[in-house]
């Protein structure tokens, strides 16, 4: 790798599932780098863009207009292919050394001296493996799931919660008009953050999260209890990773090699069972990729900007192998190794679970 003088050329890569705020991070990194007199190359299509024939674009000031509010990623992203480090239900795969040799060669050909990897558990696991190989890399925590250890908040999460809360608000009025039960299935993989934040913010009556296996009797008791109180409608929010006691995750589509399992379908299962057991007309809405689309919220725009500036600072200080992190108070950094390997799930004794129980919201247990 090149030596560090006052000028540097850095690369930025977005990997894994997209989410609101990726462009805002790209903008912040490129702006902060430009301010230092550096040059930023945006790698196209995830890490694969570093392999020959390399795909990239120059991120000069002109390229950055409008990025703060724009959803998706102008660089494209990938959660499959040779750089896929997660399989099944979150198991980790060590990527071959030759792949990293090719990556290093690609970076050298482009003159990239350090890389910013913007990603979730999968992409940052790859970033950590790259760091161990010797590639100068720093991470920025992205995922709507909010399940990365070592940061109290990932960017994209707040936007996803806003979308799910808006959906609950809309379902509220139609459920009430029709005296129905409405089940909203949201994303989040094996963590219930989106479900519990949106459930509390949107006034759900039942919140089902992977951390608390549910019982159908308990969900139906909540529905009939509300009937007795004269509330003839019920709102249920179910995380895609929620499952009944002793049951398995519900997945959709066949399991593909070297890819993570695709969760989905628990909402329909819950709706069917509620209708069967209570006789209440029940409908299901799967929010799906709506949660990942559109403009980032104010909170995410700010977080992305702080994260991007801190990532450039880490590179300037040659603090490689670290991920920028939100500590709850400020933005700092932690070793990449601390961020991967185990997921940050909703604590059972945490404020959200406690507040939900205090208000009489059913958690299905
Ligand atoms: O990790 C983000 C996420 O949106 C999960 O919440 C969801 O399970 C998964 O990605 C969906 O992935 P895909 O876009 O490949 O269907």
pLDDT per residue as tens digits for the range 178-234: 999 999 999 999 999 999 999 999 999 999 999 999 999 999 999 999 999 999 999
In angstroms, what CA-CA distances link 249 with 136, 252, 348?
38, 10, 19
CA dihedral 195, 201, 206, 212 (to 10 degrees): 40
Distance 156 CA to ligand 1 centre (A): 12
Sequence length of the chain is: 365
Which residue is closest in CA terms to ligand 1's atom 14? 17
Ligand 1 shell residues, CB under 6 Å: 17, 79, 120, 143-145, 187-189, 240, 262-263, 292
332 is catalytic: no
The residue behind tokens 């995380």 is 239
Q: Can you give the pLDDT at residue 164?
A: 98
**Percent of all residues in the chain with a pLDDT value above 90, rounded to a whole number:** 92
Q: Residue 3: pLDDT band by 50, 70, 90 thresholds?
A: very low
Which residue is closest in CA terms to ligand 1's atom 10? 17
Q: Which atom of ligand 1 is nearest to the CA of 291?
A: 4
Q: Which atom of ligand 1 is nearest to the CA of 188?
A: 6
> Exactly one of 121, 145, 158, 205 is catalytic; which is it?
145
Mean pLDDT of the chain: 96
Q: Which atom of ligand 1 is nearest to the CA of 240?
A: 8
Q: Residue 98: pLDDT band by 50, 70, 90 thresholds?
A: very high
Residue 2: pLDDT over 50 = no
Q: Residue 255: pLDDT band by 50, 70, 90 thresholds?
A: confident
d(CA 274, CA 234): 11
Distance 262 CA to ligand 1 centre (A): 7
Whole-structure pTM value: 0.96
Residue 1: pLDDT over 80 = no
Ligand 1 mutation pick, 14, 17, 250, max ligand atoms within 8 A of CB: 17
How large is the angle between the packed helices 22-35 and 298-316, nearest 10 degrees?
Answer: 40
Mean pLDDT along residues 244-261? 87
């Amino acid at each position: 790798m090149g030596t560090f003088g006052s000028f540097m050329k850095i690369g930025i890569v977005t990997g894994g599932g997209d989410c609101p705020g990726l462009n805002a991070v790209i903008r912040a990194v490129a702006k902060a780098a430009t301010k230092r007199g550096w040059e930023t190359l945006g790698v196209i299509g995830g890490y694969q863009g570093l392999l020959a024939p390399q795909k990239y674009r120059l991120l000069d000031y002109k390229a950055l207009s409008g990025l703060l509010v724009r959803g998706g990623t102008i660089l494209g992203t990938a959660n499959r292919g040779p750089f896929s480090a997660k399989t099944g239900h979150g198991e980790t795969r060590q990527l071959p050394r030759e792949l990293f040799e090719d990556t290093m060669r690609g970076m050298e050909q482009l003159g990239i001296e350090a890389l910013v990897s913007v990603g979730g558990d999968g992409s940052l696991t790859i970033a950590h493996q790259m760091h161990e190989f010797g590639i100068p890399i720093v991470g920025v925590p992205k995922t709507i799931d909010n399940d990365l250890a070592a940061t109290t908040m990932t960017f994209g999460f707040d936007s996803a919660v806003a979308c799910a809360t808006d959906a609950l608000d809309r379902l509220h009025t139609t459920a009430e008009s029709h005296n129905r039960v409405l089940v909203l299935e949201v994303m989040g993989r094996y963590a219930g953050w989106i479900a519990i934040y949106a459930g509390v913010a949107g006034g759900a009556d039942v919140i089902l999260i992977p951390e608390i296996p549910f019982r159908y009797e308990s969900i139906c008791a909540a529905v009939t209890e509300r009937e007795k109180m004269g509330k003839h409608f019920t709102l249920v929010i179910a995380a895609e990773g929620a499952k009944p006691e002793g049951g398995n995750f519900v997945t959709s589509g066949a399991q593909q090699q070297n890819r993570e399992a695709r969760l989905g379908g628990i909402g329909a299962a819950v709706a069917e069972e509620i209708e069967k057991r209570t006789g209440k007309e029940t409908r299901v809405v799967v929010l799906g990729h709506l949660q990942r689309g559109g403009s980032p919220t104010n909170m995410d725009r700010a977080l992305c900007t702080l994260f991007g500036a801190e990532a450039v600072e880490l590179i300037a200080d040659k603090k490689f192998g670290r991920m920028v992190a939100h500590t709850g108070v400020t933005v700092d950094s932690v070793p990449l190794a601390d961020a991967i390997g185990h997921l940050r799930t909703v604590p059972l004794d945490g404020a959200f679970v406690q507040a939900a129980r205090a208000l009489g919201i059913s958690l299905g247990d």
